[in-house]
């Protein structure tokens, strides 16, 4: 029985174990899930040991623990550092899930549940690939370091500190990450570019307390109206971000890269169907693929103020709030952008309100030098594992850590994505295609095997 046959023979076992992982509601943004986070960390540690990793440690941080393990018994062979995260997004709104978020369910060739695609399913692919390699030959054929954090969905607040403190220990020839998507079903992909992410919260405060809108309306400042008017000034008519200096440092795409990206088998029709809106919006002068992968954006992520309940309440609220984020592209600097955003917002607000502006997190954009040979090894492994042509793509999402690692270790970062763009990563009914989960285990096992053979 060869490696691939071995992996094929374990399908049910792998899937059942993944479901176990998914049942742990390890939501990192909510403090009430702290015990679940701990449980998920222990679960990961146990599975790493089963895959042949040693020195497996659960390292406490200021927030949620990080799981690390390694196997260094292949002298002269390459060393890879695999990174993933075991924390997940909140599941709300719960009533929009077809089956409960933390009760994984297979329907129509897909596994549904919070974390299936982002990122528990993809982390599990690597653990099972390593386990298969170990079980086939008795030991892992290359040197492996695995680092699984629990704070990715809250901006990886402790990760960087851990990396700095373990710089020597973490040294590797390449970083491998699976937290991205394939271009489309049947198109295995390597992501060579990610957008950075700054996340902000703004509080606009007017009256000292909630006021009756009949008695005070027409003279008291209304924080909701003022917040809305401020938001309306953040984009111009062409849907460009209207913050002075926002685009100053953006590196323009080369004609060649632009052509390559627009030639990909990317299906606009399917994208439109996934979005499901009457029409798309976006920055004038760029194709949809360019808007999604190569252009910076400003998106509102939450807004609230006043009366949100049933029926009518004639109130002018004391305060109104918004959460929003900017996606950044090479060569924008997150700290500089955060300053530009804050300055502009403060300038936009009238003197009848005060403003509390918070930067909740920042993260750099990244592009890979994908001419390095490891990318060729990876793309061939993908093609063998899936039996399909594989492609190089970029992605609109953010893994700030990738940039930081690349900046620190100066080694290639290989992003093997096994999700799909319509798998609702941060929304109800998140899922992963079973063919990508099973194909992923084969491709990753082959990738590690071929790296060891070079």
Site map (CB under 8 A) of its own copies, residues 18-57, x = contact: -----------xxx--------------------------
Question: Residues 84, 178: contact at Cβ < 8 Å?
Answer: yes
CA distances to 76, 294, 299, 430 from 283, in Å: 50, 11, 12, 28
Q: Which is nearer to its own copies, 191 or 377 (CB)?
A: 191
The least CB distance from residue 59 to its own copies, in Å, is 22
Question: Residues 235, 154: contact at Cβ < 8 Å?
Answer: no
106 in contact with its own copies (CB under 8 A): no
CA distances to 232, 331, 336, 339, 392 from 342, in Å: 15, 20, 10, 5, 36
Q: Which is nearer to its own copies, 173 or 210 (CB)?
A: 210
Q: Which stretch binds its own copies (CB under 8 A): 40-48, 169-177, 291-299, 441-449?
A: 291-299
CA distances to 8, 121, 367 from 12, in Å: 9, 14, 37
Rg of the chain over all Cα atoms, to the nearest angstrom: 23
Alpha helices in 1-83 (DSSP H): 3-9, 11-22, 34-50
Of the candidates 229, 236, 248, 407, which one interacts with its own copies according to CB under 8 A? 229
CB atoms within 10 A of CB 412: 20
Of the candidates 42, 169, 306, 342, which one interacts with its own copies according to CB under 8 A? 306
Chain positions 341 to 360 lying near its own copies, rule: CB under 8 A, are 350-354, 360
CA distances to 85, 100, 180 from 28, in Å: 11, 18, 19
Question: Residues 85, 27: contact at Cβ < 8 Å?
Answer: no
Could you give the residue numbers annotated as active site? Answer: 87, 152
Site map (CB under 8 A) of its own copies, residues 241-280, x = contact: ------------------------------x---xxxxxx
Q: Which is nearer to its own copies, 95 or 168 (CB)?
A: 95
In sign, the C-alpha dihedral spanning 436, 382, 410, 366 is negative
Q: Which stretch binds its own copies (CB under 8 A): 8-16, 102-110, 127-135, 231-239?
A: 231-239
The least CB distance from residue 143 to its own copies, in Å, is 32
96 in contact with its own copies (CB under 8 A): yes
100 in contact with its own copies (CB under 8 A): no
Chain positions 368 to 427 lying near its own copies, rule: CB under 8 A, are 395-398, 421, 424-427
Give the C-alpha separation, 83 to 116, whole Å: 17
Of the candidates 267, 323, 336, 372, which one interacts with its own copies according to CB under 8 A? 323
**176: which strand partners?**
82, 414
Chain positions 158 to 177 lying near its own copies, rule: CB under 8 A, are none
Of the candidates 55, 301, 376, 454, which one interacts with its own copies according to CB under 8 A? 301
Question: Residues 356, 202: contact at Cβ < 8 Å?
Answer: yes
Chain positions 109 to 148 lying near its own copies, rule: CB under 8 A, are none
Q: Which is nearer to its own copies, 1 or 277 (CB)?
A: 277
Chain positions 186 to 215 lying near its own copies, rule: CB under 8 A, are 195, 197, 199, 206-215
Q: Which is nearer to its own copies, 72 or 303 (CB)?
A: 303
In this structure, the chain runs to a length of 454
Q: Which is nearer to its own copies, 170 or 224 (CB)?
A: 224
The angle formed by the CA atoms of residues 381, 267 and 446, to the nearest 5 degrees, is: 5
The least CB distance from residue 89 to its own copies, in Å, is 6
Q: Which is nearer to its own copies, 124 or 319 (CB)?
A: 319
Question: Residues 216, 232: contact at Cβ < 8 Å?
Answer: no
């Amino acid at each position: 029985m060869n490696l691939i046959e071995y992996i094929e023979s374990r399908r049910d076992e792998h899937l059942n174990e993944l479901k176990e992982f998914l049942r742990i509601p390890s939501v990192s943004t909510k403090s009430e899930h702290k015990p679940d986070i701990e449980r998920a960390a222990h679960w990961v540690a146990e599975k790493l040991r089963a895959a042949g990793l040693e020195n497996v440690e659960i390292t406490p941080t200021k927030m949620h623990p990080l799981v690390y393990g390694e196997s260094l018994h292949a002298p002269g062979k390459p060393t890879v550092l695999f990174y993933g995260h075991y924390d997940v997004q909140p599941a709300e709104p719960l009533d929009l899930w077809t089956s409960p978020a933390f009760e994984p369910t297979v329907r129509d060739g897909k596994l549904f549940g919070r974390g299936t695609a982002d990122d528990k399913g993809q982390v599990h692919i690597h653990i099972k690939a390593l386990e298969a390699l170990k079980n086939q030959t008795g030991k892992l054929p290359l040197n492996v370091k695995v680092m699984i954090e629990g704070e990715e969905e809250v901006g990886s607040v402790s990760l960087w500190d851990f990396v700095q403190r373990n710089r020597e220990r973490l040294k590797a020839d390449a970083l491998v990450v699976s937290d991205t998507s394939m271009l489309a079903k049947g198109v295995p992909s390597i992501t060579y570019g990610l957008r950075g992410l700054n996340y902000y919260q703004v509080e606009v405060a007017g009256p000292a307390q909630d006021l009756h809108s009949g008695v005070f309306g027409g003279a008291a400042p209304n924080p909701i109206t003022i917040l809305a008017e401020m938001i309306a000034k953040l984009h111009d008519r062409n849907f460009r971000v209207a913050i002075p200096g926002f685009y100053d440092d953006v590196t323009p795409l080369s004609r060649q890269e632009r052509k390559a990206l627009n030639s990909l088998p990317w299906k606009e029709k399917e994208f439109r169907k996934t979005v499901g809106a009457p029409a798309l919006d976006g920055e004038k002068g760029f194709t949809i693929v360019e808007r999604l992968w190569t252009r910076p954006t400003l998106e509102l992520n939450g807004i609230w103020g006043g009366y949100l309940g049933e029926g009518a309440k004639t109130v002018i609220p004391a305060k109104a709030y918004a959460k929003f984020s900017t996606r950044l592209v090479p060569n924008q600097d997150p700290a500089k952008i955060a300053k530009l955003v804050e300055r502009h917002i403060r300038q936009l607000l009238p003197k009848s309100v005060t403003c509390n502006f918070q930067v909740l997190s920042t993260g750099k954009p990244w592009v890979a030098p994908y001419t390095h040979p490891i990318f060729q090894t990876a793309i061939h492994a993908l093609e063998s594992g899936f039996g399909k042509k594989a492609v190089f793509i970029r992605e609109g999402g953010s893994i700030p850590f990738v940039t930081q690692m690349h900046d620190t270790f100066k080694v290639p970062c290989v992003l093997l994505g096994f999700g799909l763009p319509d798998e609702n990563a941060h929304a109800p009914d998140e899922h992963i295609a079973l063919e990508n989960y099973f194909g992923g285990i084969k491709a990753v096992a082959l990738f590690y095997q071929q790296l060891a053979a070079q």
